Amino acid sequence: MSKMTYRDAIRSALREALRDDPRVFLMGEDVGGYGGAFKVSDGLLEEFGPERVRDTPLSENTFLGAGIGAALGGMRPIVEIMTVNFSLLALDQIVNNAATLRHMSGGQLSVPLVVRMTTGGGRQLAAQHSHSLEGWFGHIPGIKIVVPAVAADARGFLLAALRDPDPVFIFEHATLYPAEGEVDEQAGPAEIGRALVRRAGDAVSVITYGGTLGKALQAADELAVDGIQAEVVDLRSLRPLDTETILASVAKTHRAVIVDEGWRTGSFAAEVSARIMEGGFYSLDAPVARVCSAEVPMPYAKHMEDAALPQVPAIVGAVREMLGAHG
Amino acid sequence: MTDIDRAHTLALLRQMLLIRRFEEKAAELYSVGKIRGFLHLYIGEEAVAVGTMQALTPEDGIVATYREHGQALARGIPAGSLMAEMYGKANGCSRGRGGSMHFFDVSRRFYGGHAIVGGGLPVAVGLALADELKALARVTACFFGDGAVAEGEFHESLNLAALWKLPVLFLCENNLYAMGTALARHQSQPDIRRKADAYGMRSDAADGMDVLAVEEATRRAADHVRRGHGPFLLELRTYRFRAHSTADPELYRRREEVAEWKQRDPIVLLTARMQAAGVLSAADLASLEVSVAGEIDEAVRVAETGPWEPVEDLTRDVYTETP
């Protein structure tokens, strides 16, 4: 066990994969010479050479599609897309090919592709670099979506994705890269599709993932001062979604607040809420609440961006309101 | 062409005839509701699939479009497996999940059947990248139409393949129409092969109605790619005799234009040449027709008698199943 940043944890998994499996290679915009836009792949070009750490032109749709083709051809490509907003340029290959080829070919093909990209706001990058669109991707059968919130998961899910025969998309919240966490470099892959209770409690289930896990835990700490024990559930994977862990928590607390950096309308939080209605309705003591981003394109000015994103006071407020009204 | 090799040209003629009769049968079966969905017929373009395939080995990869019946047959996928696919039967080449637009046969390195125009090009680039990284001297042949040339994926893929010197043979099947929009109405530069110049890529164009010319041009192009000189763009100028799909009333082109192109029917052209060279008798032709008809009848039988995939299997193979 050692303390490591989220960024270093990903690099540790990348290095291990490149070292242990000759089929693994990296490609994306500025992953080589520049060291990665977020310095995740820093040093890997020098260590593994330009054949395996490949800088691409700014052609998201084509280098992602080339990742699909290389995966079909027996390789284990890791494609980095700089941000989720840029991934929209690759939606054709993601939705029409990566997600469909296995089923549409009657099970003949498999696409063992790993795609990493940043997501989320909080860095004053305005409306074309800050959105949280992983919920959209969670809509699509045929791909898997993981959303690591801590360094150990960032490493574990990358290793798991490389062992997975199907396309796995890893969404890394951009504010998490410098965050430190305990990482066991001897630990193998994390289990995709398994949510975790990060903090046990009995008053309310705060269900979240990725960049808002830290805020949820902070909110839980504040609530604990007043004797309110919130249980914090980290989804970790949007598809497959661990409904069982969600429902087990709600069965215990009888209340749920879902925190999601996506926009509220059609959000992934809406899906989680629906699962609770379908499977846990009779254990609820209060209507499910959601804390999501304001329905605006992300503004640049800090005070405006802060107001647009889910924040600790809003989570605390949602819990208090729920307990006040239905306590 | 001075020399006509009887055995080889007979084989080419038979393959083109097989595609023609297969497509005619498919149209007939569509009209009686045995085949549903979209049906994009290849009639008129047979020389392209048959000529190009001669230059490819079983180890080479193929990526094709939604108008891929010709390529699939020329690649050697059994007609019954294709017909069953169009029936939606479980013994179809994609278990009935793809239909006419999505033929797959991994055992023959036939990677689809892509129905997003331009969507197959990046995949072909990736297949070639895998070969390059594994040091396999294989070619990935990627078919697409003139319509795809307007897509960003075409330009991105040519750039990436040329930049990384990947073994991709880009085969543009120029039938002059992007569905119903004529080439001159969708391209600022309608001389498609010249687009390769922008990427420093070698290119050529050939008469896509002349199967021997297609074969010869493809051999030269594939040889260039196989020898590690990087990708190649080959434009094959052809024409589709039938409507774009079964849903197309053909309001965008003149009957006279279609009739003119039919004068250059690839099957008629090859037949005439073989006859002129004295290597094709009336009896040969008759026996070809009989053998092709037998193969088509068998294909229909395979499709008719094939099983339906059980509905319980609907969600199988969305993901790989682990035992």
What is the Cα gyration radius of chain A? 20
CA-based angle B248:B65:B178, to the nearest 5? Answer: 45
**Residue B173 phi, psi (nearest 5):** -90, 90
**Residue A319 phi, psi (nearest 5):** -65, -45
Can you list the positions of beta strands (E) in chain B? 61-65, 110-114, 140-145, 168-174, 177-178, 181-182, 202-207, 232-237
pLDDT of residue B1: 47
pLDDT in tens, B85-113: 999 999 999 999 999 999 999 999 999 99
Give strand pairing partners of A259: A291
pLDDT of residue B322: 77
CB A62 within 8 A of CB B121: yes
- Taking residues A299-322, report their average pLDDT: 97
pLDDT of residue A326: 64
Between chains, do B125 and A107 touch, taking CB under 8 Å as contact?
Answer: no
CB A97 within 8 A of CB B123: yes
Give kind and range of the element (H or E) at residue A178. none
CA-based angle B134:B136:B140, to the nearest 5? Answer: 105
pLDDT of residue B256: 94
According to DSSP, residue A19 is labeled H
CA-based angle A213:A217:A222, to the nearest 5? Answer: 145
Local confidence band at B247 (pLDDT 50, 70, 90 cut-offs): confident
Residue A222 lies in a domain: yes
- CA B76 to chain A, closest CA, distance in angstroms equals 17
Residue A190 lies in a domain: no
Task: Report d(CA B247, CA A105) in Å as an integer.
Answer: 25
Is residue A222 located within the same domain as residue A100?
no
Measured between beta carbons, the chain A residues lying within 8 angstroms of B127 are: 69-70, 72-73
Closest CA to B233 of B193, B289, B275: B193
Between chains, do A66 and B125 touch, taking CB under 8 Å as contact?
Answer: yes
Is residue A118 located within the same domain as residue A211?
no
Closest CA to B193 of B158, B228, B244: B158
CB-based burial, B201-214: b 16+ in 10 Å, e otherwise: bbbbbbbbbbbbbb
Residue A267 lies in a domain: yes
pLDDT in tens, A197-217: 999 999 999 999 999 999 999
Tokens in use for B278? 């004295």
Between chains, do A72 and B320 touch, taking CB under 8 Å as contact?
Answer: no
Local confidence band at B4 (pLDDT 50, 70, 90 cut-offs): confident
Residue A232 lies in a domain: yes
What is the Cα gyration radius of chain B? 19
How many beta-carbon contacts under 8 Å exist across A and B? 142
Q: Which of A69, A105, A107 sits opposite B129 (nearest CB)?
A: A69
Q: Is the peptide bond before B126 cis (omega within 30 degrees of 0)?
A: no
Looking at chain B, the whole-number percentage of residues with pLDDT higher than 90 is 95
How many residues make up chain A in this entry?
A: 327
Residue of chain A with shortest Cα separation from B319 = A142
Amino acid letter, A161: A
Interchain CB contact of B167 with A (< 8 Å)? no
- Taking residues B243-267, report their average pLDDT: 92
- CA B271 to chain A, closest CA, distance in angstroms equals 36
Residue A19 has pLDDT above 80, yes or no: yes
pLDDT in tens, B152-167: 999 999 999 999 999 9
Task: Report d(CA A71, CA A75) in Å as an integer.
Answer: 5
Q: How many angstroms separate the Cα of A5 from the Cα of each of A74, A153, B236?
A: 32, 11, 55
Local confidence band at A46 (pLDDT 50, 70, 90 cut-offs): very high
Interchain CB contact of B134 with A (< 8 Å)? yes
pLDDT in tens, B122-143: 999 999 999 999 999 999 999 9
Q: Which one of A128, A159, A183 terminates a domain?
A: A183
Three-state DSSP at A114 gives strand
Q: Which one of A151, A183, A215 terminates a domain?
A: A183
Average pLDDT, chain B: 96
Q: Which of A69, A107, A110 sits opposite B130 (nearest CB)?
A: A69
Interchain CB contact of B106 with A (< 8 Å)? yes
Residue A188 lies in a domain: no
pLDDT of residue B104: 98
Average pLDDT, chain A: 97
DSSP B212-248: HHHHHHHHHHHHHHHTTS--EEEEEE----S-SSTT-
Between chains, do A69 and B160 touch, taking CB under 8 Å as contact?
Answer: no
- CA A79 to chain B, closest CA, distance in angstroms equals 12
Is residue A140 located within the same domain as residue A280?
no
Closest CA to B85 of B59, B61, B108, B112: B112
pLDDT in tens, A53-62: 999 999 999 9
Residue A191 lies in a domain: no
- CA A54 to chain B, closest CA, distance in angstroms equals 10
Residue B2 has pLDDT above 60, yes or no: no
**Residue A321 phi, psi (nearest 5):** -65, -40
Q: Is the peptide bond before A240 cis (omega within 30 degrees of 0)?
A: yes
Between chains, do B134 and A75 touch, taking CB under 8 Å as contact?
Answer: yes
Task: Report d(CA B320, CA A122) in Å as an integer.
Answer: 37
CB B72 within 8 A of CB B86: no
- CA A120 to chain B, closest CA, distance in angstroms equals 27
Is residue A229 located within the same domain as residue A258?
yes
Task: Report d(CA B178, CA B170) in Å as an integer.
Answer: 18
Interchain CB contact of B94 with A (< 8 Å)? yes
CB A92 within 8 A of CB B116: yes
Tokens in use for B61? 């990869």
pLDDT in tens, A207-248: 999 999 999 999 999 999 999 999 999 999 999 999 999 999
Residue of chain B with shortest Cα separation from A140 = B318
pLDDT of residue B323: 67
Residue of chain B with shortest Cα separation from A144 = B319
Q: Which of A64, A102, A144 sits opposite B317 (nearest CB)?
A: A102
pLDDT of residue A327: 59
Is residue A87 located within the same domain as residue A122?
yes
CB A149 within 8 A of CB A236: yes
Give the number of other CB atoms < 10 A from CB of residue B248. 15
Is residue A29 located within the same domain as residue A96?
yes
- CA B321 to chain A, closest CA, distance in angstroms equals 9
CA-based angle A103:B73:B300, to the nearest 5? Answer: 80
pLDDT of residue A1: 86
CB B77 within 8 A of CB B105: yes
Residue B238 region by backbone torsions, left for phi larger than 0, else alpha for psi between -120 and 50, else beta = beta
Is residue A98 located within the same domain as residue A240?
no
Is residue A200 located within the same domain as residue A178?
no
Tokens in use for B214? 């297609």
Q: Which one of A133, A155, A183 terminates a domain?
A: A183
- Looking at residue A279, which CATH number applies to its domain? 3.40.50.920
- CA B52 to chain A, closest CA, distance in angstroms equals 21
Chain B contact probe: residue of A55, A105, A166 with most B CBs at under 10 A: A105
pLDDT in tens, A107-151: 999 999 999 999 999 999 999 999 999 999 999 999 999 999 999
Domain total for chain A? 2
Q: Tokens 């280098």 — which residue?
A: A63
According to DSSP, residue A105 is labeled T
CATH tag, B6-304 = 3.40.50.970
For residue A43, give every residue at least 6 positions away whose Cβ sits within 8 Å of its Cβ, in sequence order, or none: A11, A35
Task: Report d(CA B138, CA B297) in Å as an integer.
Answer: 35
Interchain CB contact of B93 with A (< 8 Å)? yes
Is residue A161 located within the same domain as residue A259?
no
According to DSSP, residue B68 is labeled -
Measured between beta carbons, the chain B residues lying within 8 angstroms of A86 are: none
Between chains, do B159 and A57 touch, taking CB under 8 Å as contact?
Answer: yes
Is residue A110 located within the same domain as residue A241?
no
Contacts with B, A 63-92, CB within 8 Å:
63-75, 77, 92
Interchain CB contact of B81 with A (< 8 Å)? no
pLDDT in tens, B143-197: 999 999 999 999 999 999 999 999 999 999 999 999 999 999 999 999 999 999 9
Q: Which of A71, A73, A93 sits opposite B122 (nearest CB)?
A: A93
Residue A193 has pLDDT above 50, yes or no: yes
Residue A189 lies in a domain: no
Is residue A158 located within the same domain as residue A70?
yes
Between chains, do B129 and A66 touch, taking CB under 8 Å as contact?
Answer: yes
Looking at chain A, the whole-number percentage of residues with pLDDT higher than 90 is 98
Residue A167 has pLDDT above 70, yes or no: yes
pLDDT of residue B246: 80
| Residue spans per domain, chain B | 6-304
Looking at chain B, the whole-number percentage of residues with pLDDT higher than 70 is 99
Give the residue numbers spanning the domain of A228: 196-326
Between chains, do A73 and B152 touch, taking CB under 8 Å as contact?
Answer: no
Between chains, do A105 and B153 touch, taking CB under 8 Å as contact?
Answer: no
Give the number of other CB atoms < 10 A from CB of residue B191. 11
Looking at chain A, the whole-number percentage of residues with pLDDT higher than 70 is 99
Is residue A75 located within the same domain as residue A176?
yes
Between chains, do B128 and A69 touch, taking CB under 8 Å as contact?
Answer: yes
Tokens in use for B189? 């530069």
Q: Which of A61, A73, A101 sits opposite B122 (nearest CB)?
A: A61
Local confidence band at A37 (pLDDT 50, 70, 90 cut-offs): very high
Between chains, do B160 and A63 touch, taking CB under 8 Å as contact?
Answer: yes
Closest CA to A113 of A155, A147, A81, A148: A81
- Taking residues A260-264, report their average pLDDT: 97
Between chains, do B152 and A61 touch, taking CB under 8 Å as contact?
Answer: yes
Closest CA to A176 of A57, A7, A327: A7
CB B146 within 8 A of CB B192: yes
Q: Which residues of A are catalytic?
A: 60, 129
- Looking at residue A12, which CATH number applies to its domain? 3.40.50.970
Local confidence band at B49 (pLDDT 50, 70, 90 cut-offs): very high
